[in-house]
Amino acid sequence: VSDDVTDVGAVLTDKIVKARKDHKCVECRKTINKGEMYRYEVIKNDDLNVFKTCADCNSVREHLVCFFYYGEIWWLIEENISEYGDQQPWSKIGRLTPVARERVCKIIEDSWRDDEKVIK
């Protein structure tokens, strides 16, 4: 899913790097700790924008979403789950990092709980 030009602008840098200091993930807002691997991207549109995505969110991005806006991956996952219910790409979910998989499964479980409420 890597074009040279996306909707948001031209990709100048897109690589997996090791954190030399703490960063914040653009998707889940969690801290990317020093020493952890994360995805570092520089996108040029009107300005230069730097996006840092933790390994967990990056696995979700690579396996579960095709089109997205930065910072909206988890919102997108929740939308998909509430829309398609049981028709989830389970084999793809199996390829996520354990942390990401747990979070996706939690969202699915929560959606089931919401369904139960509707039935009652």
27 is an interface residue for Zn ion by CB under 5 A? yes
CA–centroid distance for 113 within its chain: 23
41 is an interface residue for Zn ion by CB under 5 A? no
Beta-bridged to residue 20, according to DSSP, are none
**Candidate list 38, 39, 40, 57; residue touching Zn ion; CB under 5 A:** 57
Handedness of CA 53, 101, 71, 7 (dihedral sign): positive
State which residue, 32 or 43, has the beta carbon closest to Zn ion: 32
DSSP of 3-43: -SB-SS-EEEEEEEEE-SS-EE-TTT--EE-TT-EEEEEEE
96 is an interface residue for Zn ion by CB under 5 A? no
Q: Which span sits near Zn ion by CB under 5 A: 10-18, 24-32, 42-50, 102-110? A: 24-32
Q: Tokens 């390994």 label which residue?
A: 55
State which residue, 14 or 115, has the beta carbon closest to Zn ion: 14
Which stretches of the chain bind Zn ion, using CB under 5 A? 25, 27-28, 54, 57
